[in-house]
Structure 1
Amino acid sequence: MGFAKTAILMAVMTALFLGLGALLGGRGGMMIALAIAVAMNAYSYWNSDKAVLRMHNAKQVDEQSAPDFYRMVAGLAQNADLPMPKVFIIETDQPNAFATGRNPENAAVAATTGLLQRLTREELAGVMAHELAHVKNRDTLTMTITATFAGAISMLANFALFFGGRDRQGGIIGTIALMILAPMAAGLVQMAISRSREYEADKMGAEICRNPLWLASALQKIESFAQRIDNPAAERNPATAHMFIINPLHAFAHDKLFSTHPKTANRIAALRAMAGAEKPVVQPVPRRSGPWG
């Protein structure tokens, strides 16, 4: 159902883009704007993962520098039938995590020091399984595609004042309205896609770690801490908020129109229902003897 919803929303984004071009009526201007937007997003496609990791000062770790954490991710990646992703740690007290990369072969997962310190090993496994689910579902690629359309729509809307013309239907007032409303609509669709992918990643993440309650417990704990602890890098770069497992910006506690994340209580309820529907395969996870690397 989540994939179908995403497909519908992406179709809406495509229709919005084509409709805006048709309303502007300038095929030449539309093609120029599209070419620029595609070029910009093509660059982002190849380099966005590195840029995001730099924004959050993420440091890559390996089996020597963070043995317990690295081995956990390796085991979960094996469960998910995924190549081993690059593993990063972010020095910030807010517990959170995200995944990035254009495909499973070029993926990276990142967790904050707050996440490593404040969660149990089982809860941490649930979180990292969720992030690997994003990688397996190619959600970062989906968001790149929607970003391409959103960028093109915004650019066309900005060109509207120059290429739209006062003699077109609606005149200058219609053009200004179009310039404001089209990017807003594109942003709403982008957020809706992000929310739908979170539910899918929760479901698949529970399957990867083989116990939905681990992730449910982690989500409850992360949200509680995230509401009280700032994430300075995320506040400086709010465009990356949709990537985190829990919104790091202390906003949108409900499934509102402008939220990039579903309501955490709804996600927890779905995971608990999943655990009730089928008995979780509980595989004991050895307790760590010391702090994470």
Structure 2
Amino acid sequence: MKRIALFLLTNIAVVAVLGITANLLGVNRFLTSNGLNLGALLGFAFIMGFGGAIISLLMSKPMAKMSMGVRIINQPSNADEAWIVQTVHNFALKAGIGMPEVGIYEGEPNAFATGAFKNSALVAVSTGLLQGMTREEVEAVIGHEVAHVANGDMVTMTLIQGVMNTFVVFLSRLIGYAVDSFLRKGDDRESSGPGIGYYVSTIVLDILLGFVAAIIVAWFSRQREFRADAGAADMMGSSLPMQHALARLGGMHPGEMPKNMAAMGIAGSIGKLFSTHPPIEERIAALQSRGN
């Protein structure tokens, strides 16, 4: 709950800073003269930016179960399931968090953690991961996912996404009004509301600024992966199992995950600016620099 409260307070602070800055720069007078209320724009940016992000966070666990076909292990039916549950339990104790729900889903090698609250999260592993790795490597992957939960990464990424969304919504409409005002300069219909210049500019800027925001969010996600790798190494008392798990993943085809969950997996696409995960080689090198 503390992280959710921090999330809301940060969002409110961002909107307040935007409002104060706009007033100091005289943007409020410009907007008012062109038929737009700054308070209304800030409220709209807040709802569109943070509203969608917080709803996505709160729905993350049930959506993950449904979209990935996760089978929750309420009562282990075999020795492997009992081992998985016990491994998650051990890591949760070490990390100082509540016991997450534990699940298995059919698919290529991957695993993920999600949930709005770190004391009631979900950790799930794929059948491909269990079949393609040794127990020590699977243990390292589970430790990585529990570290994500302990670090509050789900809330952190939602916060960053919400901030970026708010800036995109606010700036695209602010610039759109400026462009429209310039294009309609001297037009007697200036007071009749925004024209085509505003709508075209807003659509284009939503796309362009959205790409910039995605690059920033992806960068933060990559840093988060390094921290989770290190967290797994700390909980296991050695970085070697995590290195071996990553090396094994490097030779596999990681399972594809829904776009809204891509950042939650152990492995992701190796794109450049938009990749949610660093290259495997960089992650292994970071662990090696820590020593064994």
TM-score range, shorter chain: 0.7 to 0.9
For 1:244, the equivalent position in structure 2 comes to 265
For 2:192, the equivalent position in structure 1 comes to none
Please tell me the residue identity of whatever aligns with 1:274: R
1:149 aligns with 2:163: yes
1:96 aligns with 2:110: yes
CA distance in 2, matches of 1:138, 1:48: 14
Query: How far did 1:154 drift?
Result: 4.5
Which sections of structure 1, spanning at least 5 residues, go unmatched? 1-9, 277-293
Query: How far did 1:158 drift?
Result: 6.6
Say if 1:163 and 1:174 are closer, same or farther in 2 by CA, change over 3 A: closer
Secondary structure of the residue aligned to 1:49 is helix
The two structures have a TM-score, normalised by structure 1, of 0.75
Q: Provide the identity percentage.
A: 30
For 2:5, the equivalent position in structure 1 comes to none
Give deviations 1:216-272, integer Å, cap 9, x for gaps.
110111132126xx53xx2xx22321111110xx542xxx22211111101111212
* Residue from 35, 47, 55 that aligns with 2:59: 47
CA distance in 2, matches of 1:257, 1:251: 9
Please tell me the residue identity of whatever aligns with 1:71: Q
For 1:290, the equivalent position in structure 2 comes to none
Q: How does 1:197-212 map to 2 (within 5 A)?
A: 197-212=224-239
CA distance in 2, matches of 1:170, 1:138: 48
Please tell me the residue identity of whatever aligns with 1:119: M
1:81 aligns with 2:100: no
CA distance in 2, matches of 1:154, 1:182: 6
Given that residues 46 and 102 in structure 1 are in contact (C-alpha distance below 8 angstroms), is that contact kept between their aligned partners in structure 2?
yes
User: Which 10-residue stretch deviates more, 36-45 or 133-142?
Assistant: 36-45
For 1:62, the equivalent position in structure 2 comes to 74
Give deviations 1:85-106, integer Å, cap 9, x for gaps.
10011111x1111111122212
Given that residues 53 and 158 in structure 2 are in contact (C-alpha distance below 8 angstroms), is that contact kept between their aligned partners in structure 1?
yes
CA distance in 1, matches of 2:184, 2:284: 47
CA distance in 1, matches of 2:161, 2:184: 28
User: Which 10-residue stretch deviates more, 25-34 or 265-274?
Assistant: 25-34
* Residue from 223, 228, 240 that aligns with 1:196: 223
Given that residues 41 and 144 in structure 1 are in contact (C-alpha distance below 8 angstroms), is that contact kept between their aligned partners in structure 2?
yes
Which sections of structure 2, spanning at least 5 residues, go unmatched? 1-9, 186-196
Say if 1:63 and 1:138 are closer, same or farther in 2 by CA, change over 3 A: same
Say if 1:164 and 1:91 are closer, same or farther in 2 by CA, change over 3 A: farther
For 2:290, the equivalent position in structure 1 comes to 274
Given that residues 195 and 261 in structure 1 are in contact (C-alpha distance below 8 angstroms), is that contact kept between their aligned partners in structure 2?
yes
CA distance in 2, matches of 1:81, 1:273: 26
For 1:35, the equivalent position in structure 2 comes to 47
Secondary structure of the residue aligned to 1:225 is coil
Say if 1:111 and 1:156 are closer, same or farther in 2 by CA, change over 3 A: same
For 1:72, the equivalent position in structure 2 comes to 87
Given that residues 116 and 154 in structure 2 are in contact (C-alpha distance below 8 angstroms), is that contact kept between their aligned partners in structure 1?
yes
CA distance in 2, matches of 1:45, 1:38: 10
